[in-house]
Amino acid sequence: MLRLINKIIALSGKYKWRIYVAFVFSFVKSMLLKAPVCLSFLALNRFLERRMTPGYCVTLFGMMAASVILQIIFQNIADRLQSGAGYLMFADLRNELGVHLRRMPMGYFTEGNIGKISSVLSTDMVFVEENCMTAIAGLMSDIFAEIIMILFMYYINPVLGVAATIIAAGMLLVGKGMEKETLADSVTRQEQSENLTEAVLDFAEGMGIIKTYNLLGKESKELSGNFQKSCDTNIGFEENHAPWQRWMGIAYGIGTVATLVSGYAMFANHMISLGYFIGLLLFLFDLYSPMKVLYSQLARLTVMNSCVDRMQEVFEEMELPNDGTRKISESKTHAGNEIEFKNVDFSYGKKQVLDQISFAVKPDTMTALVGPSGSGKSTIASLITRFWDVTGGTVKVRGVDIREVPLAELMDQISMVFQRVYLFEDTIYNNICIGRPDATEEEVAEAAKKARCYDFIMNLPDGFQTVVGEGGSSLSGGEKQRISIARCILKDAPIVILDEATASVDVDNESYIQEAISELCRGKTLLVIAHRLNTIANADHILVIENGRIVQRGTHDELVQCEGVYRNFVNVRTRMKGWSA
Ligand SMILES: Nc1ncnc2c1ncn2[C@@H]1O[C@H](COP(=O)(O)OP(=O)(O)OP(=O)(O)O)[C@@H](O)[C@H]1O
């Protein structure tokens, strides 16, 4: 349990001192909580010794009243300090986690970690945020209270103090067993919660396919199977925990009776006075209750412990190194290459997908990447934006190795238009502004006009202030695509990477998208993952990729002259009137 406190304090960053101060207040509050009983004990002894005076009596009552008032004040201050610290600390942690996730390689998000991230960000963080400070305050207060009670036993009689220490140690042992069992179970419980989140996300994301292929029964079964497992895990957790709670109750009972019997034996043998024996009775039922209360919170604390561990696991995931300090030259008229790949190898885990890729892209030219599905075109494009780092060779932008440049600076140079467009659940205006947050309204409108989306936006009831659904779900595919192009036009980065859409959109939308793309690419260096013959034929340079290697390169006219993969593709494409990669 102390480890949990350490972990929370380690996470608390700049609020650490606030939490320490709250601990001091909690400690004082715990002492004040016991003050009325201690004062009653003193009064009782005075009375039995026939030394009670009215003045002494008034003083004791005054002290009692003061201790109650002070206890309320201290409790209030500790609560405010702690709960405030909890929410502030988690606001910072969420931001830190956001920054950390942004710096992680794309691979982390595609390797089955989405369920984990969602469950950490929603379930785990919310649980710890809402519970950590009250739980720690309770924990600290119980520990302090138990120490104070045992010290008081030493004050009554050292032998009673030793007996109370032994009994408390016995309860601690039971607690340790309980902690071990609960800890193991809470890990399983958290894993199940992660699986459940993953299953729910899968179900929601795949709803289109589920309906089309009539998989509702099968997928629902899978989801309800996960609900059932989650329910079983939670019941199992409670069932395993309950016997330990009973053992703790038994230890508490035995401890209380043993202390009472020892106290009475000492009183009967004149080792302690009647006053002290009555004092012992005053404390008896409170003597081990902090311990019992503390362990009744164990389930909550161990779940919190696993939540904190999982949060830390995500925080400890390696980020893409971002310690580069070099600047990319702003000059676009330099004689060198805008993009350069030199002997680039790349593997996803153990699977090598790029092998000795070398090419250069001159400023203000268009280079098309063509080749069969799975040949490595998207991977080449994603290495330029450092979604992953190369496993061999170098990628340079304007002569600078991109690993030596701060990521933010690299991203300023590049716009990407993906096939699959994602819009945030926000206004259209804000979705376009992502390209350049400090843009003026006129600039946003201008970008929308160039991307051929101004008219349809203005026809929406709330215009630019229309809120689009999650992922842009309330707009058509072509409309989303044009908004994403407006975003890139606003960004005005010198390099544009374009993953040309394979899915056909209606004729109107297609011509609008082509016009929007022409606007975006004016005066830019363009790298296109090309699927349309028109685009490919217009490229200044074509790279034909097969099995992760460049097998042909040149212009369209040069490549159709010679036998090879490219000519075959063009023939098939011409025959089928559709590029079949
Ligand atoms: N995140 C990933 N993890 C593991 N393997 C991957 C990952 N992404 C792609 N691959 C594999 O790498 C190879 C190259 O994929 P890539 O997407 O670059 O090809 P592509 O030419 O762009 O294909 P397409 O035209 O179908 O988009 C493929 O074999 C693919 O299965």
CA distance linking residue 136 with residue 340, whole number of Å: 55
Name the residue of 110, 350, 352, 379 to mutate for ligand 1: max ligand atoms within 8 A of Cβ: 379
2-315 against 328-413+539-581: fold identical: no
CA distance linking residue 200 with residue 216, whole number of Å: 13
pLDDT band at 223 (very low <50, low <70, confident <90, very high): confident
Q: Which helix (H) or strand (E) holds 30?
A: helix 16-48
Q: Which CATH architecture has domain 2-315?
A: Up-down Bundle (1.20)
Higher per-residue confidence, 515 vs 96: 96
Whether ligand 1 lies within 6 angstroms of the CB of 378 is answered as yes
> Cβ contacts of residue 476 below 8 Å, gap of 6+?
505, 509
pLDDT band at 210 (very low <50, low <70, confident <90, very high): low
| 107 Cα–ligand 1 center, Å | 12
CA distance linking residue 24 with residue 478, whole number of Å: 61
CA distance linking residue 259 with residue 149, whole number of Å: 13
For the stretch 528-576, pLDDT in tens is 998 878 778 888 999 999 999 999 999 999 998 988 888 888 888 777 6
Percent of the chain with pLDDT over 90: 18
Place of tokens 């989405």: 114
Name the residue of 345, 375, 387 to mutate for ligand 1: max ligand atoms within 8 A of Cβ: 375
> Cβ contacts of residue 263 below 8 Å, gap of 6+?
156, 160, 272, 277, 280, 281, 284
pLDDT band at 369 (very low <50, low <70, confident <90, very high): very high
| 548 Cα–ligand 1 center, Å | 10
Give me the interface pTM, i.e. the ipTM: 0.96
Q: Quick check: 124 pLDDT over 90?
A: no
Q: Are 146 and 268 in contact (CB under 8 A)?
A: no
pLDDT for 301 equals 83
pLDDT for 509 equals 66
| 371 Cα–ligand 1 center, Å | 12
The sign one gets for the Cα dihedral 349, 355, 359, 365 is negative
What predicted TM-score, i.e. pTM, was given to this entire model? 0.63
pLDDT for 502 equals 55
For the stretch 47-57, pLDDT in tens is 888 888 888 88
For the stretch 6-16, pLDDT in tens is 888 888 888 88
For residue 65, how many other CB atoms are within 10 A of its CB?
11
Name the DSSP letter for residue 186.
H
Q: Quick check: 128 pLDDT over 60?
A: yes
Q: Quick check: 218 pLDDT over 70?
A: no
User: Quick one: 506 exposed, middle or buried, by C-beta within 10 A (0-12, 13-18, 19+)?
Assistant: exposed
Contacts 24+ apart (CB under 8 A), 360-363: 361/337, 361/525, 361/527, 361/541, 362/337, 362/338, 362/525, 362/540, 363/332, 363/333, 363/334, 363/337, 363/338, 363/494, 363/525
Place of tokens 């690993």: 403
Nearest CA to ligand 1 atom 17: 378
| 490 Cα–ligand 1 center, Å | 30
Q: Are 281 and 56 in contact (CB under 8 A)?
A: no
pLDDT for 578 equals 44
CA distance linking residue 455 with residue 563, whole number of Å: 47
Mean pLDDT of 232-259: 85
Most confident of the following: 146-155, 211-220, 340-349: 340-349
The sign one gets for the Cα dihedral 421, 422, 425, 430 is negative
pLDDT for 318 equals 81
Mean pLDDT of 362-374: 90
Q: Quick check: 380 pLDDT over 90?
A: yes
Whether ligand 1 lies within 6 angstroms of the CB of 581 is answered as yes
For the stretch 456-515, pLDDT in tens is 899 888 889 988 875 555 788 888 888 988 999 999 889 999 887 655 556 566 677 778
Mean per-residue pLDDT of the chain: 83
For the stretch 158-184, pLDDT in tens is 988 999 999 999 888 888 888 887 877
219-to-114, 115, 224, 356, 576 alpha-carbon distances in Å: 19, 17, 9, 43, 37
Q: Quick check: 581 pLDDT over 50?
A: no
- CATH fold of 328-413+539-581 reads Rossmann fold (3.40.50)
For the stretch 405-417, pLDDT in tens is 888 888 888 988 8
pLDDT for 444 equals 92
φ, ψ of residue 530 in degrees (nearest 5):
-95, 140
CA distance linking residue 18 with residue 82, whole number of Å: 7
Whose CA is closest to 400, among 472, 469, 478, 339? 339
For the stretch 292-328, pLDDT in tens is 888 877 777 888 888 888 888 888 888 887 777 788 7
Whether ligand 1 lies within 6 angstroms of the CB of 247 is answered as no
Q: Are 508 and 497 in contact (CB under 8 A)?
A: no
pLDDT for 69 equals 92
Mean pLDDT of 77-101: 84
pLDDT for 104 equals 82
> Cβ contacts of residue 313 below 8 Å, gap of 6+?
none
Q: Which two tokens stand for residue 312?
A: 């830390």
Domain spans in the chain, listed from the N-terminal domain onward? 2-315, 328-413+539-581
Whose CA is closest to 160, among 48, 283, 38, 292? 283
- Helix (H, G, I), strand (E, B), or coil: what is residue 27? helix
